[in-house]
Chains A and B, each alone.
Chain A
Amino acid sequence: MADFFNGFWHWYIAVITVLSILGCGILLWTQSTHRVKLRADGTPEKTTGHVWDEDLTELNTPMPRWWIVLFYLTIVFGIGYLFLYPGLGAYTGKLGWNSAGEYKAELKQAKAEYGPLFAKYAGQDLKAVAHDPQAHAIGERLFLTYCAQCHGSDARGSKGFPNLADSDWLHGGEPATIKQTIMQGRVGMMPAMGAALGSDKDIESVAHYVRNLSGLTADPIKVAFGKPKFASCVACHGAEGKGNPLLGAPNLADKIWLYGGSQETVMETIRKGRTNTMPAFGEFLGEEKVHVLAAYVWSLSNPPITTAAAK
């Protein structure tokens, strides 16, 4: 057994347990009778024979017999328990019960209970699910449990964690794409372009060019310098910097910045690159739950939002 590093401890526990039970039985047996002196008339003393402080004696008022029987029953119970359940060293018990098995049984039960509900939605179109008030309420709870840690309770994200409530999508905002994102996860990789672009000056120029794409304040001369250098970026971000959802390359021409749009931040992003991971939830949650969740996420940027309660 993995619980013990060698066979000795298994026996050690088992022997102590068995001896303790035996000891309890012997104690009960020996304590249920008592030897007392006979009085002058030949009848036994009415006290238990214990004497304290010279003359303090204890009157024998017997407890009911069922009382001690209860104690014997605990021994019977203990033996039965140790036979059926793991407890005696490495012995796994006749029933083969363990907490992992119990967990699995509970999962199975939960699946049997909630399965039909999720199965109903799994058969529906994602957009239809998104407009179902009950599914929306379930999706909200799922989101608050599994997604809110990174994307926020309001799904509006924070630095490095995309806002899911706007209409801007790194990998595409179609319901099926969202579902794929949740199922399989995403890895967003912006390579470090520092070496490819050359000097710090070049990086600065490209940053000015990129900021200019979004209409942010930029030095026109540096923008002009940066434009030819941006050729290194078009493979992913496109000639107009509008990005490519197939590659997860963000649109640089809108006002949405995952890491921030300041000159320094943009330069840092270009120089060092960015790597970001959205974990895959498919295996953990199962496709049926992800289906409801994807519909909820899609509905965030596709009003009207019809929640069970908020109208």
Chain B
Amino acid sequence: MTTPQEAVIRMYAAREEIHPRETKGRYASLRWACVWLTQLLFYGLPWLSMHGRQAVLFDLGSRKFHLFGLVLWPQDFIYLAALLILCAYGLFLVTAVAGRVWCGFACPQTVYTEIFLWIERQFEGPRSSRIRLARQPWTFAKAARKGGKHAAWLLVALWTGFTFVGYFTPVRELGATIAGFGLGPWETFWVLFYALATYGNAGWMREQVCKYMCPYARFQSAMFDKDTLIVSYDVARGEPRNPRLTASGAGDCIDCSMCVQVCPTGIDIRKGLQYECIGCAACVDACNGVMDKIARPRGLIRYATENALALRLDPVQVRQRILRPRVLVYTAVLALLGMAMVASLALRNPLKLDVIRDRGSMGREVEDGMIENVYRLQLMNTTEDPQRLRIAVTGIASARVVEGEVVELAPASTRAVPVRVRVNPGEAMSGSNRIVFGVASIDGHGLQVSEDAVFLVPK
């Protein structure tokens, strides 16, 4: 007996670079539209002004988030949670209906990769030249092309990092401080970090982010069903492949491999649905172009559902199947949550009150035997107008605020106001009595807020 021969295999492999071919077509145009839309929004928003300040500014220092007319405080953090839940349900819905369209068209990873690929094409040319350049030994010409590309990438990345920090530090001031080399350590760090992340992810990592880093990519497939629209190769129509267009009765696929060349994740869609597929439909555009040239109907590769291909459903039937229970439930939950969030934002009380009883003294007897308690009222004006407020107290008939029942709050500010409350002797039981503080605006802003408190009467 001879011992079986063994070999050493590697558990980790080097990444193989992908050079996707440029595509033209309906979906490529749609993606570029998404790139323009999202990036105009991202790069443009910080430059908008409103009420004499930046319209969208997440001011971490003073813990205020400005969103156009809205000022959100740490107390409003729940809305961030609500927003995340809304996004999650939006994702569930879109994924159940049309698969990974987010990945293919709107995800920043896709969008920036698209921008960086465009830059790459300007310096290194189309796919074939890029492959040739990659194989060439290092020459001055190659270094110049590559260097130019990286310089351009870094410029875009730095501008992106600058814009990102511009959401947290007023972008105009930020520009001025950078110009004067006066940037603080944290702003410098975040500009560079975000720039480096953009450069690394969109320039170098690309599909690696989707394949190995993105959790969303992995759990999305769990939300697919047989009626989810996915980029599909029509096997029945395409096979057997017919490379030279000679065989009669053969399929429509001429094995031109265009669908593989355009794929940003380097897969062959003809092998069926794979986890790497980000649903960008580049292969759909490419194949449609080829079908036009060989005078065959479009749609050999198309958005189709598993059931549509298996049961040969027509488009109307596919559309009917969109209205299935899971989609309806997602839509209902999404609509309900969306309405709840909008309603809660609209009805949000911009005046907040917290009552803190003085712990130093229980209750004290003042002139004529009246009992006095001291409170500290933490008042918060989240509007951008100054507020004149009147503090009132109810719950015990003779309870009233002694002095300073009218206070003024500057726009978007908080203030702790000491308040003395007096009650006639004998009117409240000794021990603790429930009272209610009510704070209402005087100038007709119609704001009102109330809070329970305890009034102590010594024995």
B-binding residues in A (CB < 8 A): 31-38, 42, 44, 48, 60, 62-68, 140-141, 144, 148-159, 161, 308-311
Whether the pair A38, B6 counts as a contact (CB closer than 8 A) is yes
Given contact pairs A34-B11, A62-B13, A158-B364, a sample of 6 additional A-B residue pairs in the complex whose CB atoms are under 8 Å apart: A37-B6, A44-B9, A67-B212, A153-B375, A153-B376, A310-B408
* Distance A155 CA – B360 CA, assembled complex (angstroms): 11
Q: What are 17 A-B residue pairs whose CB atoms fall within 8 Å in the complex?
A: A33-B8, A34-B8, A35-B7, A35-B8, A42-B5, A44-B7, A60-B11, A63-B11, A64-B15, A65-B12, A68-B12, A140-B416, A152-B360, A153-B376, A153-B419, A156-B364, A158-B364
Whether the pair A35, B6 counts as a contact (CB closer than 8 A) is yes
Whether the pair A309, B409 counts as a contact (CB closer than 8 A) is yes
Q: Which of B365-416 contact A (CB under 8 A)?
A: 372, 374-376, 404, 406-410, 415-416
Residues of chain B within 8 A of A66, CB atoms compared: 15, 208
Whether the pair A151, B360 counts as a contact (CB closer than 8 A) is yes
Instruction: Name which residue of chain A comes closest to B205, CB basis.
Output: A66
The one of A34, A68, A141 that contacts B9, using a Cβ cutoff of 8 Å: A34
The one of B5, B208, B376, B408 that contacts A311, using a Cβ cutoff of 8 Å: B408
Residues of chain A within 8 A of B407, CB atoms compared: 309-310
- Output the least CB separation between B432 and chain A (Å): 17
* Distance A310 CA – B386 CA, assembled complex (angstroms): 12
- Output the least CB separation between B183 and chain A (Å): 17
Whether the pair B418, A144 counts as a contact (CB closer than 8 A) is yes
Residues of chain A within 8 A of B359, CB atoms compared: 149
Instruction: Let me know if B136 is at the binding interface, CB within 8 A.
Output: no
Residues of chain A within 8 A of B208, CB atoms compared: 64, 66
Whether the pair B358, A31 counts as a contact (CB closer than 8 A) is no
On whether A64 and B13 interact (CB within 8 A), knowing A158-B364, A159-B361, the answer reads: yes
Whether the pair A62, B361 counts as a contact (CB closer than 8 A) is no
Residues of chain B within 8 A of A63, CB atoms compared: 11-13, 212
* Distance A48 CA – B12 CA, assembled complex (angstroms): 12
* Distance A171 CA – B269 CA, assembled complex (angstroms): 90
On whether A148 and B376 interact (CB within 8 A), knowing A64-B212, A67-B212, A156-B420, the answer reads: yes
Instruction: Tell me the total A-B contact number using a CB cutoff of 8 A.
Output: 114
* Distance A151 CA – B359 CA, assembled complex (angstroms): 11
Residues of chain B within 8 A of A154, CB atoms compared: 358, 374, 418-420
Residues of chain B within 8 A of A149, CB atoms compared: 359-360
Residues of chain A within 8 A of B137, CB atoms compared: none
Classify the interface of chain B: helix, strand, loop or mixed: strand
Whether the pair B7, A152 counts as a contact (CB closer than 8 A) is no
User: How many residues of chain B have a CB within 8 Å of chain A?
Assistant: 36
* Distance A250 CA – B404 CA, assembled complex (angstroms): 29
- Output the least CB separation between A156 and chain B (Å): 7
On whether A144 and B376 interact (CB within 8 A), knowing A37-B4, A67-B212, A311-B408, the answer reads: yes
A-binding residues in B (CB < 8 A): 4-15, 208, 211-212, 358-361, 364, 372, 374-376, 404, 406-410, 415-420
Whether the pair B10, A32 counts as a contact (CB closer than 8 A) is yes
Residues of chain B within 8 A of A156, CB atoms compared: 364, 372, 374, 420
Residues of chain A within 8 A of B358, CB atoms compared: 148, 152-154
- Output the least CB separation between B408 and chain A (Å): 4
* Distance A31 CA – B10 CA, assembled complex (angstroms): 9
Residues of chain A within 8 A of B415, CB atoms compared: 309
* Distance A151 CA – B13 CA, assembled complex (angstroms): 71
* Distance A150 CA – B358 CA, assembled complex (angstroms): 9
On whether A36 and B6 interact (CB within 8 A), knowing A144-B416, A153-B375, A154-B374, the answer reads: yes
On whether A32 and B12 interact (CB within 8 A), knowing A63-B212, A153-B376, the answer reads: yes
Instruction: Name which residue of chain A comes closest to B387, CB basis.
Output: A309
Residues of chain B within 8 A of A153, CB atoms compared: 358, 374-376, 416, 418-419
Residues of chain B within 8 A of A48, CB atoms compared: 9, 11
Instruction: Name which residue of chain A comes closest to B363, CB basis.
Output: A158
Whether the pair A310, B406 counts as a contact (CB closer than 8 A) is yes
The one of B5, B12, B14, B417 that contacts A37, using a Cβ cutoff of 8 Å: B5
- Output the least CB separation between A74 and chain B (Å): 15
- Output the least CB separation between B269 and chain A (Å): 19
Instruction: Name which residue of chain A comes closest to B16, CB basis.
Output: A64
Residues of chain A within 8 A of B372, CB atoms compared: 156
- Output the least CB separation between A243 and chain B (Å): 21
- Output the least CB separation between A36 and chain B (Å): 5
Residues of chain A within 8 A of B376, CB atoms compared: 144, 148, 153
- Output the least CB separation between A152 and chain B (Å): 5
Instruction: Name which residue of chain B comes closest to A305, CB basis.
Output: B404
* Distance A36 CA – B6 CA, assembled complex (angstroms): 5
Residues of chain A within 8 A of B15, CB atoms compared: 64-66
Whether the pair A33, B9 counts as a contact (CB closer than 8 A) is yes
Instruction: Name which residue of chain A comes closest to B15, CB basis.
Output: A64
On whether A62 and B420 interact (CB within 8 A), knowing A150-B360, A156-B374, A310-B406, the answer reads: no
Closest 5 A-B residue pairs measured CB to CB? Answer: A158-B361, A153-B418, A62-B13, A44-B7, A309-B408
Residues of chain A within 8 A of B406, CB atoms compared: 310
Which of B9, B14, B211, B372 has the largest number of chain A CB atoms within 10 A?
A: B9
- Output the least CB separation between B412 and chain A (Å): 13
- Output the least CB separation between B274 and chain A (Å): 12
Instruction: Name which residue of chain B comes closest to A60, CB basis.
Output: B9
- Output the least CB separation between A250 and chain B (Å): 18
* Distance A159 CA – B363 CA, assembled complex (angstroms): 10
* Distance A32 CA – B359 CA, assembled complex (angstroms): 63
Residues of chain A within 8 A of B420, CB atoms compared: 154, 156
Residues of chain A within 8 A of B364, CB atoms compared: 156, 158-159
* Distance A156 CA – B6 CA, assembled complex (angstroms): 89
Residues of chain A within 8 A of B12, CB atoms compared: 32, 62-65, 67-68
Residues of chain A within 8 A of B11, CB atoms compared: 31-34, 48, 60, 62-63
Which of A35, A153, A161 has the largest number of chain B CB atoms within 10 A?
A: A153
Whether the pair B14, A65 counts as a contact (CB closer than 8 A) is yes
* Distance A140 CA – B12 CA, assembled complex (angstroms): 64
Residues of chain A within 8 A of B10, CB atoms compared: 32-34, 62
- Output the least CB separation between A126 and chain B (Å): 22
- Output the least CB separation between A259 and chain B (Å): 13
* Distance A36 CA – B404 CA, assembled complex (angstroms): 84
Residues of chain A within 8 A of B404, CB atoms compared: 310
Residues of chain B within 8 A of A68, CB atoms compared: 12
Instruction: Name which residue of chain B comes closest to A144, CB basis.
Output: B416
